[in-house]
């Protein structure tokens, strides 16, 4: 992979988008590398959480406008489909993904962060969906994930105006979960990922699935799905280990079985 670096520490993998000369802009090649990186970590049984970040002063400053400018309608649909496919993979991973937004997260970069389970931001981070300034709309899920994250009214304002907001404003509206000083961001994201990785992986996977899917079905049906998943958890070795460890006042040793 040319544009994505993958590192592993314990049960946590970190994916770093590395195209700093273009502010990590998402071209087809970058999306292809991100797709390959996600597939690679998904095949590692030991991975229980992932951090995605960027190199330099940007998380991802957007899609590659120079590459998009001369696309025809069919090519643009194909590019959008690629972005949707990669970001959907992130949403459907069995383990959580933390976005460590170190700088600009605009357009496709904001959409990438939205596809992650939650967002930690540097105090220097900037967020926005500025596509209307280019005469287009968000194409990698922004019109759908942003309203689900911050509510439709705020999403409309951000998308219609194309304005850029600070990390503190992103925190205020619920787009970011926490804001850190730049030199503390990666450590905070890694710690959050490691904390998650120490929990029961089957329980985390079930919780991720239920939260993701339950948002789009009626509450009574969603509660029934949760009830069934809760009961299913009692047929696992992790449940026995977790409750035994609690009663024995020791740290659990989860195996994902």
What are the extents of the domains in the chain?
4-197, 201-247
Question: What's the confidence (pLDDT) of residue 64?
Answer: 87
Instruction: Reply yes or no on whether 157 is catalytic.
Output: no
Whole-number pLDDT of residue 212 = 95
Q: Which of 5, 29, 91, 131 is catalytic?
A: 131
User: What local confidence, expressed as pLDDT, does residue 134 receive?
Assistant: 96
Given this model, what pLDDT does residue 221 score?
A: 96
Could you confirm whether 248 is annotated as catalytic?
Answer: no
Select which of 111, 181, 184, 241 is catalytic. 111
Report domain 4-197's class.
alpha beta
Confidence at residue 171, expressed as pLDDT on a 0 to 100 scale: 98
Q: Which run of H or E residues covers position 180? A: strand 178-180
Phi-psi region at 87: left, alpha or beta (left = phi > 0; alpha = psi -120 to 50): alpha
**What residue ranges of the chain have pLDDT lower than 70?**
none
CB contact set of 102 (below 8 Å; sequence gap of 6+): 53, 54, 57, 58, 59, 122, 124, 125, 182, 185, 186
pLDDT at 133: 96
Class of domain 201-247: mainly alpha
pLDDT in tens, 18-73: 999 999 999 999 999 999 999 999 999 999 999 999 999 999 999 889 889 999 99
User: Angle at Cα 136 formed by Cα 141 and Cα 119, nearest 5°?
Assistant: 35
pLDDT of residue 1: 82
Q: What percent of the chain has pLDDT over 90?
A: 97
């Amino acid at each position: 992979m040319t544009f994505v670096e993958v590192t592993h520490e314990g049960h946590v993998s970190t994916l770093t988008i590395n195209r700093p000369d273009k502010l990590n802009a998402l071209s087809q090649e970058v999306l292809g590398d991100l797709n390959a990186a996600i597939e690679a970590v998904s095949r590692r049984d030991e991975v229980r959480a992932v951090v995605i970040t960027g190199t330099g002063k940007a998380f991802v400053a957007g899609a590659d406008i120079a590459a998009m400018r001369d696309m025809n309608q069919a090519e643009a649909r194909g590019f959008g489909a690629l972005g949707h496919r990669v970001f959907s993979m992130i949403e459907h991973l069995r383990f959580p993904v933390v976005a460590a937004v170190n700088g600009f997260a605009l357009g496709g970069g904001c959409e990438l962060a939205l596809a992650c389970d939650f967002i930690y931001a540097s105090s220097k981070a900037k967020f926005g969906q500025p596509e209307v300034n280019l005469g287009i709309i968000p194409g990698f899920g922004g019109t759908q994930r942003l309203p689900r994250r911050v509510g439709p009214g705020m999403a409309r304002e951000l998308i219609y105006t194309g304005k850029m907001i600070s990390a503190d404003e992103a925190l205020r509206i619920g787009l970011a979960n926490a804001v850190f000083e730049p030199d503390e961001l990666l450590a905070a994201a890694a710690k959050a990922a490691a904390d998650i990785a120490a929990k029961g992986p089957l329980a985390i996977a079930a919780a991720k699935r239920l939260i993701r899917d339950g948002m789009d079905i009626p509450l009574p049906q969603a509660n029934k799905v949760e009830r069934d998943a809760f009961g299913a958890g009692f047929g696992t070795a992790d449940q026995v280990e977790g409750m035994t460890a609690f009663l024995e006042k020791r740290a659990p040793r989860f195996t994902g079985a």
